[in-house]
Amino acid sequence: MKQFLPAIPLAGAKIVVVGSGEAALNKLRLFRNAPCDLVWATLGQPVTPPADLNPNTLILTGRSAFGLFRRARLVFIGLDDEGRAKRLARSARRAGALVNVVDNLPECDFYTPALVDRGIVTIAMSTGGAGPVLARDIRSAVEAVVAPGVGLLAEAAAKARDRVKAQFPTVDARRRFWEKALRGEAARRADQGDVAGAYDAIQHALVQSEDRAAGIVHLVGAGPGDPELLTVKAARLIRDAEVIVHDRLVSPEIIDRARRDALRIDVGKTAGSHPVPQSRICEILIEQARLGRRVVRLKGGDSFIFGRGGEEVEAVRAAGIEAHVTPGVSAALAAGAQAQIPLTHRDAAQAVTFVTGRPKTGGPALDYDALAATTHTLVVYMGVAVAATLSRRLIEVGRPSTTPVAVIENASLPIERRLFTTLERLSVDISAHAITGPAAIVIGDVVARAPEAAAALAAQAKLEVAA
């Protein structure tokens, strides 16, 4: 470790910023909501205070720096005159302050980190001044996964701290309580800006802890496979889960975001192989929740689009267990976006329909007459194995045989493949390219609006003419 990032209390601390240019303004913005005594010294340069300046800022426009650094805790110097900046830095150090001279690493006692500000929770990242842009990129990534209400959650936890300590005498017992209490309802209330509600949820968890805490099941859409397409909420739920019940379509990179000690249960299915029947999956969710655990049922894409999520949440609720659903990016949306196919377009498609190529055995068959409209985009899940029947029946009910079709296999993953063809050639080309899935089949004129598709379809047409 080349540097150590301390947390400096700002309440009542004197912070001095020297300079009038953008460098100084950037430092002032760091403290716009801080409870510090902020001093801005312009050294004789006229300035227009920015709208977001801390209202408690004392602006000194005099040319002299005499007495400026007395009792200062941190000093930031943003001057083009390097010699003067060094002299002021020495003066500030003699007064006992830590000094940061902008863009002059040898003159810095500390580096300015990239910050994620969540109230009383502050997250700092630093590259030691070597790559500020890199630090900002890391900050953006962290901001995407840190819940917005985490600061309010920390405030609520601080209020309950003494009672928790009294109820749980050991460090391990308190840790286990906080792991449960600071997730779920308390976190949800904090994200809504309800600090009182978060505190009440923690109080409720204290009462529950006297008995066995009730479990909870979250159905979470894991998206098409790319971990970066997880929603922020999904990533947090995966990280907090004690049990992960997952399908085979959920990528290892996503499952690896779970805690190391989380129980992972694979209930994946493949075509013709269902080692864990659906009824047993529902039983697993109920059993694990009844043990008082936070269970995440992790499903590829969105769990309510051909994921049988509706059946699972009904079973869980019928067992008297709390259940929540977190949406994911569906395979259809990811496949279309990755290939730049607009699933709807004012000049080509008025609507989009999602269907499964494998309806329930004994249930209603696909209504091909309803799917024949040329102004509708059709997206077929699990359709690779039935492509021949699919194309034949659609042509029979009026879909033109030349309708453009895209087959996107493993959408969003590095191994993604795209096949562009026509409805009459769909089955032949799937076989020729050895596409096995998982794949989304997009049928409709919108396919031709993707640049890659237009080129592929044009080349195919030339070959057919030549033949």
CB 19 within 8 A of CB 80: no
Label residue 424 by pLDDT band (50, 70, 90): very high
| pLDDT for position 144 | 77
User: Are 218 and 163 part of one and the same domain?
Assistant: no
Instruction: Read off the pLDDT of residues 324-335 as tens digits, 9 standing for 90 and up.
Output: 999 999 999 999
| 129 domain-assigned | no
Residue 118 included in any domain: no
Average pLDDT of the segment spanning 168-195: 83
Based on the residue annotation, tell me whether 429 is a catalytic residue of this protein: no
The average confidence (pLDDT) of the chain is 89
343 and 438 inside one domain = yes
pLDDT band for position 355 (cuts 50, 70, 90): very high
Q: Count Cα neighbours of 116 within 13 Å in the Cβ-side half-sphere.
A: 21
Q: Is 436 contained in some domain?
A: yes
Mean pLDDT of 431-450: 92
pLDDT tens profile 97-106: 999 999 899 9
**How confident is the model at residue 380, as a pLDDT?**
94
Q: What is residue 178's predicted lDDT score, i.e. its pLDDT?
A: 84
In a domain, 258, yes or no: yes
Tally of domains in the chain: 4
Amino acid in position 357: G
- Mean pLDDT across 267-289: 84
Q: Beta strand pairing status for 404-409 and 417-422?
A: antiparallel
Mean pLDDT score, 261-288: 85
Residue 181 belongs to what domain range?
147-212
Whether residue 208 is found in the same domain as residue 223:
no
CB 356 within 8 A of CB 306: yes
My answer on whether 222 and 316 are in the same domain is yes
Please report, for residues 215, 267, 318, the alpha-carbon distance to residue 322 in angstroms, rounded to integers and kept in the order given: 7, 21, 10
Of 329, 345, 376, the last residue of a domain is 329
Q: Which of 196, 212, 228 is the last residue of a domain?
A: 212
Q: Which of 65-74, 117-126, 416-425 has the lowest mean pLDDT?
A: 117-126
Looking at the structure, do residues 462 and 337 belong to the same domain, yes or no?
yes
Mean pLDDT over 89-93 rounds to 96
Given its phi and psi angles, is residue 331 left (phi above 0), alpha (psi -120 to 50 degrees) or beta?
A: alpha
Radius of gyration of the chain, Cα coordinates, nearest whole angstrom: 30
CA-CA distance, 65 to 56, in Å (whole number)?
Answer: 20
Q: Which pLDDT score is estimated for 2? A: 84
Residues 103 and 155 in one domain: no
In whole angstroms, what is the distance from residue 401 CA to residue 395 CA? 6
How sure is the predictor about 403, in pLDDT bands with cuts at 50, 70 and 90?
very high
**Residues 320 and 339 both lie in one domain:** no
Check which CATH number belongs to the domain holding 370 and give it.
Answer: 3.30.950.10
- pLDDT band with cut points at 50, 70 and 90 for residue 182: confident
The average pLDDT across 382-397 equals: 93
Helix/strand/coil for 277: coil
Say if 8 falls within a structural domain.
Answer: no
Instruction: State what percent of residues in the chain have pLDDT above 70.
Output: 96
Position 459 in a domain: yes
Query: How far apart are alpha carbons 296 and 319 in whole angstroms?
Result: 16
Q: Does residue 5 lie within any of the structural domains?
A: no
Residue 145 has pLDDT above 80, yes or no: no
Query: Confidence band (pLDDT; 50, 70, 90) for 74?
Result: very high
Write the pLDDT tens digit of every residue in 307-354. 889 999 999 999 999 999 999 999 999 999 999 999 999 988 999 999
Residue 126 lies in a domain: no
The yes-or-no answer on residue 269 being catalytic is: yes
Beta-sheet strand order (sheet of 294-299): 263-266, 243-246, 294-299, 216-221, 322-326
Residue 69 reports pLDDT greater than 60: yes
What burial letters (b/e) apply to 239-278, b meaning 16+ CB within 10 Å?
ebbbbbbbbebbbeebbebbeeebeebebebeeeeeebee
User: Which of these ranges, 59-73, 88-102, 156-170, 260-274, has the smallest mean pLDDT?
Assistant: 260-274
Q: Per-residue confidence at 110, pLDDT binned at 50, 70, 90?
A: very high
Q: Are residues 207 and 225 in the same domain?
A: no
Residue 266 has pLDDT above 90, yes or no: yes
* pLDDT computed for residue 31 by the predictor: 94
**283 confidence band (pLDDT: 50, 70, 90):** very high
Q: Which residue has the tokens 């032949």?
A: 428
Q: Give yes or no: residues 341 and 460 share one domain.
A: yes
Q: 222, exposed or middle or buried, with CB in 10 Å at 0-12, 13-18, 19+? A: buried
Q: Is the pLDDT of residue 464 over 70?
A: no
Please name the residue ranges forming H helices in 149-301: 150-167, 171-181, 185-191, 195-208, 232-240, 252-255, 278-290
pLDDT of residue 146: 83
For 183-219, write each residue's pLDDT tens digit: 778 888 888 889 899 889 888 888 876 555 568 999 9
Among 90, 112, 134, the domain-final residue is: 112
| 200, 269, 429, 445: the active-site residue | 269
Given the residues 37, 226, 240, 247, select the one marked as catalytic: 247
Q: So what's the pLDDT on residue 129?
A: 75
Question: What is the arithmetic mean of pLDDT over 379-395?
Answer: 93
User: DSSP characters for 312-336?
Assistant: HHHHHHHTT-EEEEE----HHHHHH
Residue 314's identity, in one-letter code, is E
Q: For residue 374, is pLDDT > 90?
A: no
Same domain, 317 and 402: no
344 and 443: one domain? yes
Residue 70 has pLDDT above 60, yes or no: yes
Q: Are residues 345 and 450 in the same domain?
A: yes
The larger pLDDT score, comparing residue 152 to residue 459, is at 152
Residues in the chain, overall count: 467
CATH number at residue 245: 3.40.1010.10
